[in-house]
Amino acid sequence: MALRMREGWEPPYPLMKAEFSLDVNRICVALIGVQSRDGMGLQPDQALLDEENGPARVECAEYVDASEYKNRFWIAYWIDSKKFESWRQDSAMRRWLANPARLLEGVGYWFETFSIARDDFETIFGTENPAGVSCAAAQMTPNDRTHGYWGSMRDRIPNSLKDSFVSPLGNKLERGAPRNTFAKRWRVKAPTNLCYIRSGQDYAHCGVEQRKTYIDEIAPVLKSGMDFLRDNPEETGCCSWRFAEVVGPNGAKTEQTFGLGYFLSIGNLEDWSATHRTHLVIFSKWQQMYRKYNFILELRTWHEVAILRDQTEFEYVNCHPGTGLLPFFEAEELPSDARAD
């Protein structure tokens, strides 16, 4: 059952959502990451994504993880599931990742893909400006008023009417024995009902005053909360968290950031959001900014959330053992030149 927020939160304007055409039955995502100490690792050419079955949209981002490795990664989105499956099974990118040379370069590579049923997915935006997979949506439309209370995220996922999205592992994330991962390929078997979230902030369009408010008051507590999720998986149920900056053309810096991660279940994400001090401080600062500017913000915020079922793949090549889902769940070591079945 949804828990009501404090009085006064409901914004006096409609939030937005992405509306996909009726022929879109699945939303597909691939994350292709390159990991190194100095950030100078070999990176795949963009041409490896620009092929017949390539994605509808690609973005690039980078972050430094808890082990001080620099990671640059590409987020690729498809709204044509047949093209995605063809690409995932056999493409220039897959062949490049499968090349045994990847194990000899002193660089880690990670490849995380998932195909999401349309009714296991939701988006919400503070403005009419699309981001993420919503850039490939048919249109942006007003949200149906399912917001403004703890639990509204779950309620916006259509399948929540018939599914509670409980993890088969319960609500307690447990770390496995350390794995020998360098110079090896590992594939992690993710449990069903893993919850994916990508939550973005774009302050490039802010005027001087709102930009200063965001940088001085919001960004520090946001970064603190993101670091907490990254560093406390057992307490939060957050299996992996990446707080990244979008990279523009030719590696240009941007004023766009996002957190991207996986929780053991949507229940774990809800618990952190509704009860943990790190998120409550972020939430309080957001409320203050909304009220300060009479709910007229130049800052663009958004998120996309999905329940991941069985059409997932998490593969790690020569990565350090704390990468992604490697510290958790069942996994198998693959042959040096393995590809997805």
In tens, the pLDDT along 227-244 reads 999 999 999 999 999 999
In tens, the pLDDT along 271-313 reads 999 998 999 999 889 889 988 998 888 999 999 999 999 899 9
Q: What token pair was written down for 170?
A: 């319960």
Evaluate if residue 174 carries a pLDDT over 60. yes
pLDDT at 145: 67
Evaluate if residue 340 carries a pLDDT over 70. no
Rounded distance, CA 104 to CA 332, Å?
Answer: 20
pLDDT at 5: 38
pTM over 0.75: yes
Evaluate if residue 211 carries a pLDDT over 50. yes
pLDDT at 137: 84
Tell me the mean pLDDT in the region 76-91: 94
Per the model's pLDDT, the better-predicted residue between 282 and 12 turns out to be 282
Evaluate if residue 333 carries a pLDDT over 70. yes
pLDDT at 13: 57
